[in-house]
Amino acid sequence: MLKEFFSGFRIKSNIYVALILSLLLVMLLYSIGRVGFYFFNTSYFPGMSWVRMGKMLWGGLRFDLSATLYSNSLYILLMIVPFAIRFKPVYQKFLFWIFIIVNSIAFAINTIDFIYYRFTLRRTTISVFSQFKNEDNLGRLSARFLWDYWYAFLFWLLIVAILYFTFKRIKFSGPQINNKVAFYSGGVAAMLLSVYLFVGGARGGFRSSTRPITLSNAAAYAQVPNDINIVLNTPFALMRTAKANVIEKVEYFSSEQELDQVFTPLRAPKDTVSFRPENVVILILESFSKEFVGAYNKDLDNGSYKGYTPFLDSLIGVSYAYQYSLANGRKSIDAMPSVISSIPSIEVPYVLSHFSGNKVNSLANLLKEENYYTAFFHGAPNGSMGFDAFANLSGFDNYFGKTEYNNDTDFDGIWGIWDEPFLQYFAQQMNTFKQPFFTTLFTVSSHHPYNLPDGYENKFRNGPHPVHRTIGYTDYALKRFFKTASTMPWFRNTLFVITADHASAEINVPAYNSAWGYFSIPVFFYHPGENGGGLKPEIIQQIDIMPTVLGYLHYNKPYVAFGRDIFNDKTRPFAFNYLNNTYQIFRGDYLLQFDGKKAIGLYQFRQDKSLKDNLMNSLPDTTQSMNRSLKAFIQQYNNRMVENNLTSEGSQLKRIK
């Protein structure tokens, strides 16, 4: 029947048109599979509308294109090599079966998730191989799967039949080779163009600021977190996580009660003071190492160290600031979950992990429940770094990027809008928002290649590295922002949080070239009219920002956060990060390093800045105590991540079970 249906048409064209048509056919079948995925699992996606589904179908094309290109890379290569053999019947027959077999396998993997999704509630990732590696009855399981879910098997057969009969009708003929020089030179040019298009399509974009799309990017097209699984396709999820480390459950503590006594991220504040609906503004500064900020380094150069941030120095003097302030990751994509959701990165950045679609708390969605308007600002092209996707997943009402700024005269040509005009735009936009509001801005200008706007080349202090001038420029942009903001009616009713995404790769002060220096960034809180007292000799980290902000506002509902409220929490300050397959915990005067099985180092990091003196053997009690705390932190993180238990609702449900 299908054969007769498809026999009525035949497409004959040149080889490049045939290639494009064949790839479009695969993408069309992925879209059909996406609709099939929904209809096989409608109960998991209540309230579906045509608009919602249309957005997911549109967004899914990015992931379908990437999966199509990656899985058909051999077929594409064989089609574009500039040799005449491509037009021989035997060669074309070989191409035909390569295409059919590869895509049939891809569609089989995609269709299996129609059923398997019900058990995992997420698209299958590479971790599935670890999950079933010790099973010796996979053959029987597969046979049973086919028997019980025969209708999914029939759906796959239908997809393969459409693939087979349609592709069979796409024909191409070879050119007349009268001029071999023209033939081969044209073929090489076409091949190079094809490679360029392949790279852009597989990565999800051509901009230098665009990272290869990953699972978390699907959130940009999802109305609710579950929708991510419709946007994605399973071959993409498998390929994109193939090289990612897999977070697995651990059992350092045998009981939940013992684990919770050592460390729990479930916060249950009992604030009796009424909630105060003040505005909250978080500024995340690109690559702002603490090394660059003079206020943190008064002991350097015999007390004469100036740094490159005169404005931030003055602001820190009247803020709630902390000498030992640390990032929880080393990448920009680590910062968003840490700052907004109090989720650090372990082994793999959270947004690149298999669990990036988990339901999470965030300042955005928690404050929205208190009638806040929420917005995220990033001057880069929309989609850069996947920030828009995470902002959407976190619950921000709106995203303002280069597109919304809509003035390319202020574009730096590489990363985004210069910080000075974009920060002014930020201030003006907030002046239009209904209070209370929560906003976050991520700067871009202090990034390689460290360019400055015209007219600013000699305005800022030079240093040993080009980054120092751009640090001075962003500091100046912040000064102008605060000057503008101070004239606005919302300013004095606002808590400002200033931090960085990560430390810079450019290190000039030797002490910062260390396991603690790699994570040393500013983290401080400023409120107009309040004098925070400047630097305190305490430890703070990015994941402390969310619980601290909530505590400052007297938020009194339960939530999950891996950090602490520095203003109200009576537990000992600590900081956590992960470096080169080593877990690190800072507490008191000490830094403990742990390889996942045993402690490997204990250092008095405040005095021993180069971490040369390992004190494990001389301080066994300190080592044991910190090791126990770190194990509890890791177990809570890993197990909650795997169990999708990152909200207070999930924690309460687990207790009931």
pLDDT in tens, 492-548: 999 999 999 999 888 888 889 888 999 999 999 999 999 999 899 999 999 999 999
Q: Which pLDDT value is given to residue 351?
A: 79
DSSP-based three-state secondary structure for 536: strand
Write down the pLDDT at residue 651. Answer: 57
Which residue(s) pair with 440 in the sheet?
Answer: 282, 376
Mean pLDDT of the chain: 89
Confidence check: pLDDT of 247 > 90 = no
Residue 449: cis peptide before it, omega within 30 degrees of 0: yes
Query: Which tens digits make up the pLDDT trace of 403-417?
Result: 999 999 999 988 899
pLDDT of residue 653: 46
Q: Is the pLDDT of residue 134 over 70?
A: no
Query: For residue 215, what pLDDT is reported?
Result: 84
Cβ proximity of 374 and 593 under 8 Å: no
The DSSP 8-state label assigned to residue 93 in this structure reads: H
Model confidence at 425: pLDDT above 80: yes
Whole-structure pTM value: 0.80
Where residue 608 falls among pLDDT bands split at 50, 70, 90?
Answer: very high
Give the span between the Cα atoms of 353 and 345, in whole angstroms: 9
Whether 345 and 562 have beta carbons less than 8 Å apart is answered as: no
In the predicted model, what is the mean pLDDT of residues 296-325?
94
The torsion of the CA quartet 474, 479, 481, 486, rounded to 10 degrees, works out to 160
In total, the chain counts a number of residues equal to: 657
382 is written with which tokens?
A: 């929309």
Percent of the chain beyond pLDDT 70?
Answer: 91
Q: Are 228 and 222 in contact (CB under 8 A)?
A: yes
At 440-479, the pLDDT tens digits run 999 999 988 888 999 998 899 988 988 999 999 999 999 9
Model confidence at 587: pLDDT above 50: yes
Question: What letter does residue 322 receive in the DSSP assignment?
Answer: E
654 against 247, higher pLDDT: 247
The pLDDT assigned to 132 comes to 56
Q: Is 291 a residue whose pLDDT tops 60?
A: yes
Tens-place pLDDT, residues 96-133: 999 999 999 999 999 999 988 877 677 887 766 655 55
Measured CA distances, 565 to 320, 409, 541, 551, 569 (Å): 13, 42, 11, 6, 5
Q: How confident is the model at residue 331 (pLDDT cuts 50, 70, 90)?
A: confident
pLDDT value, residue 122: 77
Mean pLDDT of 51-63: 94
- Inform me whether the pLDDT recorded for 399 exceeds 90: yes
Tell me the per-residue pLDDT of 154-210, one tens digit each, with 9 for 90 and over. 999 999 999 999 999 988 776 655 667 766 777 788 778 878 888 888 777 766 566
Residue 420: partners with Cβ closer than 8 Å, 6 or more residues away: 453, 473, 476, 477, 480
**Residue 656 confidence class, pLDDT cut points 50, 70, 90:** very low
Domains of the chain by start residue, with CATH: 2-240 (no CATH), 257-656 (3.40.720.10)
Classify residue 416 as left (phi > 0), alpha (psi -120 to 50) or beta: left
Q: What is the pLDDT of residue 84?
A: 82
d(C-alpha 300, C-alpha 307), whole Å = 10
